[in-house]
Each structure stands twice: as C-alpha cells, then as structure tokens.
Chains A and B, each alone.
Chain A
Amino acid sequence: MFVSILRQGDFLIASIHAALDDTELVRFQEDVIRRIGELRARGVIIDIAALDVLDSFGSSCLRDLAVMARLRGAVTVIVGIQPDVAFAIVKLGMTIDIYTALDLEEGLDLLEAVTIGNRAGGSSLRALSE
C-alpha cells in the first residue's frame, strides 16, 4: 500500500505517498475512519503532497472522509495540496469545505488550535478557522 496512517498524540497522520486508484482510495477512507475509532483520535491530518493530480472522485472521497471523521468526533485537516491540484479543485467547482493547511507542520498547528477551541466550546471553531 502507498499510504501510511500514524499516530501522533491525539491525532492521526495519514499520508498518501503515490497516486491511488478508486478502490484504494475507498479502502484508505475506511482504514482512516476505523483507526479514528480504535485510537480515539480527536484530529486527522491527511497529507496529499505526493499527489500531482486529484480528480473529482478523489476530492469527493476526501470530503466524505472529513464529514465521516467529524461524525466520529475528529477534525480533518488536509495538507500539502500542490498548486496545480488546488487550482484544479477550484476550477472543477469541487470546493472542499474543510480545513486545509500548507504542510504537516502548519496542519498540526491548525489542528491544535481547532481542537482546543472544540474543548472550550464548539462556537469558537468557525472563528478560529478563518
């Protein structure tokens, strides 16, 4: 498999290291959701820096993953979106309404801020993300 799902404190770091086909993507999605439950993670970082292209299926997969993670009590941050991928996502109208950050480090900072906000009370979540 070209993915890794690592644990870092309360967070999961899931990295995609090479282009995945649709089946692999769905399997990756399931693995991450399962691990969230097993490890009681409060946040997930998905690192897609290795992806040079992202099609509509891939982006909807990531969005679904974020929604499912939310339902299981974890916040998702997608990091390492390449310039071309970012523009393609926007251009194809597949705006992902979830947290994004430049790289892993930024993502961890953002997750840290967002989950503290969660603890203090859900209302501040939106403000912190802006």
Chain B
Amino acid sequence: MTEPESQTTTQPTAQSADGHQKARDDHGLLSELVAHLREHRTELREEWARRIESTRLLQAMTPQEVGSETTSVYDNYVEVLETGSVAALQRYARDLSERIIPRGVETHEVVGIVLLLRDVLARSLFLKYHDDFSVLNRVLDAYEPAANRIANTVAVSFVEERERVIRQQQDAIRELSTPVLQVRERLLILPIIGVLDSQRATQLTDQLLRGIRTNRAKVVVIDITGVPEIDTTVANHLVETVDASRLMGASVIITGLSSDIARTLVTIGVDLSKMNTIGDLQGGIEEAERLLGFRVIRSDEA
C-alpha cells in the first residue's frame, strides 16, 4: 500500500526540484546579463545612438534630446530585464509618446529604435559568449522573450497613446461639428463644415429635428459651403432629412452647393427636384426671411 503512494509523491517533487534548478540557473544568467549590460552601459548606449543616427531615425528630435531619451530607455530596458515587470517601462513609454507624438515622431521610428537596441544588446551578448555556444543559447533563451516583451510594450504604449489622441480629437470634432443656430424667430441655420460621413449625417439629422421641435422652426437653411464632397449615401440622407423636416412642418433651403457637388449629384442621379436650393448662404437667408414674412430695411432708407 505504501510503496506506490511514495512513488507518486516523489515523482512531482523531483520534477519541481528540476524546474527550480533550471529557474535558478536562468535567474543567475539573467542577473549576469544585467550586470554585463550595466557595466558596458556607456559604450552600448553610444553604439545604439550611432546606429539610430545612421538609420536616420528620430530626425524630428535634437541630438541632445535623443541622447537623454536613449539613456532613459536604456535604463528602463535593463530594469525590465532585471525585474521582469514592464509596469515602469509602460509608464515611461506612455509618457515618452505623449511628448514625442506632437513632434511628429512616427510609429515605425519608435519601434525601430527599440529593435535597434535589442539588436545592439544581442550583438554584445554574442561577443561576450561566442566561445561557449551552450551558454550563449541559454543566455539568448533568457534574453529573447524579455526583449520581445519590451519591444511589444513600447509599441503598444505608443499606439495606445496615438489612439487616445485620435479619440480625443474625434470627440472634439463631434462636439463641434453640427451646431443648430437660430438667426431669427422660427429660422434656423445649420452650417456644415468638413466631410460628411454617415455617422455625422445621422447626428446632424437628429440635432436638426430636435432643433426644429425646441425652436418651433418654420424654415431651416442648411449651408454646405464647407463640404468638399458628397457621396450617394450622404446625398440620400440629406434628402431624407429634408423630407423628415417637412413632416415636422419646417421647410428646408439648402445653400452653398459647390460646382463639384452639383456635378456629383447630377451624375449619381440623386433626385433633388423636391429640394429648395439656393446659391449662397446670403441668398438662402433672404429667401427664408421672405417665406417667414420678414423684410429687412436699411435704417437710412426707412
């Protein structure tokens, strides 16, 4: 009874002891590696900076800036190799991205310099262990995954920062994009600037219809002077918006159709016969005033 029991218990212990041994070895190698990188910090960092310069990366930054940033990246890199925790590097990478993205540094440059550092360090390891192939193998086993993780972390942080900036700008554009303004009693104008995609078009319809309701508008002038181009979907959406506004008792005047847009609309065959279009915003407002029964008179004529 006792024999098989002891057998089953000893086996895992032996295995885990073996595993521990290997882990300790790896750990020892890693700290040896870190010590090596710390020792040759200056020369490796300079070699790295030279490589960055020769590949013409980070041209948007001054040599001094590149110098100080590469020092920080180097130290962070070695620290990650030592501790195995990327949290500090992540913070630093995000911070760095925040500083350099406005300067026009591209993703490929950031990834490029990290990969260069990885290459420079790997070469120095080859040089150090080139006479003992099995040790070199194990050193690389320890170094490669950590280095990959670092490259990954930096690239992801950079891209995330970029996306954050883009999202922020998108929100800002969305906030600004479709103002509905009342210029006279029961007259709204809706100036549209920039490209209309279907999401913006939907939002525009929504705000317009709500605006008609709250301002009790009778006439709406939609000015598309600032719209560079229009496609079938958006054109049809515009027609639908006009129809929906009519259902809510408001007539719509569209102004500022550029010659390009006019040609596009004729070419793609959108039916604009039901739409009231007038050349420019001024004409549109004058027509709207006429519809509402306003008359604008200069004070010296009166």
Contact = CB atoms under 8 A, between A and B. Distances in A.
Interface in A63-104: 78-79, 81-84, 86-87, 89-91, 95-96, 100-103
A90 B248 contact: no
B210 A83 contact: yes
Contacts of A102: 212-213, 216, 218, 248-250
Interface of B: 205-206, 209-210, 212-213, 216, 218, 240-241, 243-251
A106 B247 contact: no
Name the interface size band of chain A.
20 to 34
10 contacts: A81-B247, A83-B206, A83-B248, A86-B248, A87-B209, A90-B243, A91-B240, A102-B212, A103-B216, A103-B249
Given A79-B249, A106-B249, A130-B251, A95 B212 contact: no
Contact of A101 (B213, B243, B249): B249
Given A102-B212, A102-B213, A87 B250 contact: no
Contacts of B218: 102, 106
Contacts of B210: 83
A-B pairs with lowest CB-CB distance, top 5: A83-B209, A102-B249, A86-B244, A101-B249, A86-B247
Contacts of A78: 247
Contact of B247 (A89, A103, A110, A130): A89
Given A81-B247, A102-B250, A90 B213 contact: no
A101 B246 CA distance: 8
B240 A87 contact: yes
A90 B243 CA distance: 7
Contacts of B216: 102-103, 106
A84 B205 CA distance: 10
B178 to A, nearest CB: 14
A96 B248 CA distance: 12
A89 B210 CA distance: 16
B89 to A, nearest CB: 50
A91 to B, nearest CB: 6
A87 B212 CA distance: 13
A90 B244 contact: yes
B232 to A, nearest CB: 16
Given A83-B206, A83-B210, A96 B247 contact: yes
A82 B250 CA distance: 13
Contacts of A130: 251
B224 to A, nearest CB: 19
A59 B251 CA distance: 21
A108 B98 CA distance: 60
A102 B249 CA distance: 5
Nearest to B274: A95
A101 B213 CA distance: 11
Given A83-B212, A90-B244, 19 more contacts: A83-B244, A86-B244, A86-B247, A86-B248, A87-B206, A87-B241, A89-B244, A90-B240, A91-B240, A95-B243, A100-B246, A100-B249, A101-B249, A102-B213, A102-B216, A106-B216, A106-B218, A106-B249, A110-B249
Nearest to A99: B249
Given A102-B213, A102-B216, A87 B244 contact: yes
B253 to A, nearest CB: 12
A16 to B, nearest CB: 16
Nearest to A85: B247
Contacts of B206: 83, 87
Nearest to A79: B249
Nearest to B205: A87
A3 to B, nearest CB: 21
Nearest to B216: A102
Nearest to B276: A130
